[in-house]
Amino acid sequence: MVNTLEADWYVDSEIYARERDRIFHPSWWLMGPSHLVSNPGDYLCDRICGWPVFVLRSQDGKLRAFLNVCRHRGATLLTKGYGGGINSVRCPYHGWLYDDHGRLQNTPKFGEELGDEKKSLSLHQIDVHVWNGLVFVKIARDKGVGFDEWLGEVSGLCADFPGPSSLDYYGEFTVEGELNWKTYCDNTVEGYHLNLIHPRLGTALAGGDVQLFSVNDGRSVAFDITHGASGGAREARGAKGLWVYHFPGLQLVLGDKIFKAERVESNNSNHLRSINWAWYGELDEAAKHEAFAWGKQIVEEDFGICAEVTRNLRAGVFTPGPLSPSMEKHVARFQQIVKDILLNGE
Ligand code: FES
Ligand SMILES: [Fe+2]
């Protein structure tokens, strides 16, 4: 029988620092919907695992991504989540100005002319990629793999379902709390908790008897959420549906009339934030509202139980328990992946 990880893995800030460096830094992260940066001058900005990032559609039509940090003394450059109509970025602290390629243009009242040094003070550029109506970024330029390799077989799973390009964008919601990111992932890759934590979802999915399978050598776990869907759920999801987790922080809900993308990220061992963007097909407003609210309720239910688990792990009273070989095999695999990366530097 495989046991859960020791509680320390969820608490220790040294372990979190290694996770941030080895898992989060080289990974691709969902930044937001690409329709928000469709025109030159449009931008998106946010923090991902603490790293300040912005993505900007330059006047030449190309999408570029940068660390959102001034090269002078570290101020945050763009502060609003998204916007448009900019062809340069001025630092709000001392007014340094960067063009939309990230190049330092001028440094008002700096005094000594920077001369050639200016060229070395461009914003730090990071990788950006658009897939299926979604913008992704990768913080580490010198680590990790290309986007397609990272996503692997998940793109094939999505091919059978409509994406943002054929659905209507509805809105976004955020859920944030004090929990360790791995408690949420442990939870997310098993259907064992479904009936008790999500009674409404359990009923809609025929008593929570969901089929799970993994691809990408266990880095992605998918639930078939077609079975037994009834009422509002069936209306929103249509005849078939799939829910997908992709390591380390991407989740997708796929259906005939729904697409939801979620980024799950943290900035310390006791923090988690889930940002969700939802699109719907031909549904009336009430059904969209209902599906959106229910999606949020499910995330909140998971956050609730995982925050309780995290509190107990932090209290130092938990000794590892056994994982069910049938119900929790994907949890065991997820934990093994984390261990391999942290212990072997894989
Ligand atoms: S920190 Fe940006 S101009 Fe000084
Ligand atoms: Fe759940």
**pLDDT given at position 143:** 95
Class level of CATH domain 28-138: mainly beta
Query: Is the shortest distance between the CB of 75 and ligand 1 below 6 Å?
Result: yes
Strand-pair partners of 327: none
Per-residue pLDDT of the chain (346 residues; tens, 9 = 90+): 899 999 999 999 999 999 999 999 999 999 999 999 999 999 999 999 999 999 999 999 999 999 999 999 999 999 989 999 999 999 999 999 999 999 999 999 998 778 888 899 999 999 999 999 999 999 999 999 999 999 999 999 999 999 999 999 999 999 999 999 999 999 999 999 999 999 888 777 765 567 899 999 999 999 988 755 455 555 554 568 899 999 999 999 999 999 999 999 999 999 999 999 999 999 999 999 999 999 999 999 999 999 999 999 999 999 999 999 999 999 999 999 999 999 986 5
- Residue 93: count of CB within 10 angstroms of its CB: 13
The pairing of beta strand 211-215 with beta strand 28-33: unpaired
Ion ligand 2: residues, CB within 5 A, are: 302
Query: Is the shortest distance between the CB of 90 and ligand 1 below 6 Å?
Result: no
Question: Residue 274: nearest ligand to its CA?
Answer: 2
Measured in Å, residue 321 CA sits from the centre of ligand 1 at 51
Instruction: Please give the number of the atom of ligand 1 that sits closest to the Cα of 74.
Output: 1
Homologous superfamily (CATH) of 152-344 is Naphthalene 1,2-dioxygenase Alpha Subunit; Chain A, domain 1 (3.90.380.10)
Query: Is the shortest distance between the CB of 89 and ligand 1 below 6 Å?
Result: no
Alpha helices in 125-193 (DSSP H): 147-151, 154-158, 181-188
Nearest alpha-carbon partner for 259 in 237, 286, 243, 278: 278
Say which DSSP state 102 is in.
S
Task: Give how far the C-alpha of residue 155 lies from the chain's centroid of Cα atoms, to the nearest Å.
Answer: 16
- Crossing angle of helices 181-188 and 285-314, rounded to 10°: 120
CA 301 vs CA 187, 199, 304: distances in Å: 11, 10, 5
For the record, the structure tokens of 339 come out as 């261990």
Question: Residue 185: nearest ligand to its CA?
Answer: 2
Instruction: Please give the number of the atom of ligand 1 that sits closest to the Cα of 73.
Output: 1
**pLDDT given at position 227:** 55
CA 103 vs CA 109, 116, 117: distances in Å: 18, 12, 12
Say which DSSP state 208 is in.
T
**pLDDT given at position 339:** 97
Question: Residue 253: nearest ligand to its CA?
Answer: 2
- Residue 4: count of CB within 10 angstroms of its CB: 20
Measured in Å, residue 60 CA sits from the centre of ligand 1 at 26
Ligand 1 site-directed mutation target among 66, 70, 97, most atoms within 8 Å of CB: 70
Measured in Å, residue 90 CA sits from the centre of ligand 1 at 9
**pLDDT given at position 230:** 53
**pLDDT given at position 200:** 85
- Long-range CB pairs of 331-334 (<8 Å, 24+ gap) are 331/4, 331/186, 331/189, 331/190, 332/2, 333/189, 333/214, 333/218, 334/182, 334/185, 334/186, 334/189, 334/218, 334/221, 334/247
Task: Give how far the C-alpha of residue 21 lies from the chain's centroid of Cα atoms, to the nearest Å.
Answer: 16
- Whole-number Å distance between alpha carbons of 256 and 280: 9
Query: Is the shortest distance between the CB of 73 and ligand 1 below 6 Å?
Result: yes
Residue ranges of domains in the chain: 28-138, 152-344
For the record, the structure tokens of 237 come out as 């999801």
Instruction: Please give the number of the atom of ligand 1 that sits closest to the Cα of 91.
Output: 2
Ligand 1 site-directed mutation target among 72, 97, 106, most atoms within 8 Å of CB: 72
Residue that is written with structure tokens 């639930």 in the block: 223
